[in-house]
Amino acid sequence: MEKLTVSTLSRGGLKQFVKLEERGIQDYDWLDIREAETDESERQQLNHIQLKLLNYSTHLMNEATIWARGIYPILLLAEQSWVQAWSQVNLTAKYLQFEIECVADGVLGKCVSGFIEAPYLVVVEAKRGLESQNPLYQLYGELLAAGWMNWQENQQEKQEIFGCYTIADTWTFIRAEIADIEAEMPTLKIESSREYSAKLEAEIILQILKKIVSRYTT
């Protein structure tokens, strides 16, 4: 069995193990935020987050600073019911031909007895510098791991799982559908959003997060 390292995954490497179908950037129904309203308290907190970003060059900040100022605070605002925001969450999966062990930068998921039982949205914060890699395929690998964990819990034939990767203060959302989980070549279907800037579109980012979380809580 092959052990995949998500931080070095490439499109070609991933396609050796899964049937990858990418639909590209479109206005998908899961991005429709008309019913994902924010209240006055949330808008005030979002304004506070934006002020912590507007007067700084986020492209020069290190990852930990951006995470603390502009990413994790928005994830916290998206919490609903039993769905909580966590950082540094272990994800594991054992498919027929490969296995994955990784640590997600952030997760929105079902919290039971003090740990994340079912990850619904996985966040990858793009690393910079000489060791930087394309965060997209790292996210695909982590979505495969999260989908397998959810399948262990609910045994549904198709797993819907969401993710996003952030570059500085910019968020890009992904919807994944994982099928044929017990087959030699599972199927991974991907839908992508456009980019959203937390400096200018923090409310839209929160609304998308709330819309995603509501799919699991209603």
Per-residue model confidence as pLDDT tens digits over 176-208: 999 999 999 999 999 999 999 999 999 999 999
Alpha carbon of residue 81 to chain centroid: 19
Per-residue pLDDT of 131-176, as tens digits, reads 557 899 999 999 999 999 999 989 999 999 999 999 999 999 999 9
Mean pLDDT score across all residues of the chain: 92
pTM to 2 decimals? 0.94
H-helix or E-strand spanning residue 215: helix 198-217
Write the Ramachandran bin of 155: left for phi over 0, alpha for psi from -120 to 50, otherwise beta.
Answer: left
Predicted local confidence at residue 204, as pLDDT: 97
Predicted local confidence at residue 132, as pLDDT: 57
CA distances from 207 to 69, 124, 142, 214 (A): 18, 19, 23, 10
Beta strand 115-125 with 83-94: parallel, antiparallel or unpaired? unpaired
Q: Phi and psi for 146 in degrees, rounded to 5?
A: -65, -40
Predicted local confidence at residue 185, as pLDDT: 96
Flag whether pLDDT at 129 surpasses 80. Answer: no
Task: Indicate the residue type of 134.
Answer: N
Flag whether pLDDT at 115 surpasses 90. Answer: no
Predicted local confidence at residue 208, as pLDDT: 98
Per-residue pLDDT of 98-111, as tens digits, reads 999 999 999 999 98
The residue segments making up the domain with residue 101 are 2-217
The answer to whether 203 touches 46, Cβ cutoff 8 Å, is: yes
- pLDDT confidence bin for 62, thresholds 50/70/90: confident
What is the three-class DSSP state of 60? coil
Which has more confidence, 65 or 202?
202
Report the candidate in 63, 195, 66 with the shortest Cα–Cα distance to residue 129: 63
Predicted local confidence at residue 130, as pLDDT: 46
Flag whether pLDDT at 19 surpasses 60. Answer: yes
Predicted local confidence at residue 65, as pLDDT: 87
The answer to whether 126 touches 132, Cβ cutoff 8 Å, is: yes
Domain count, the chain: 1
Predicted local confidence at residue 209, as pLDDT: 97
Flag whether pLDDT at 67 surpasses 50. Answer: yes
User: Quick one: 30 exposed, middle or buried, by C-beta within 10 A (0-12, 13-18, 19+)?
Assistant: middle
Predicted local confidence at residue 119, as pLDDT: 92
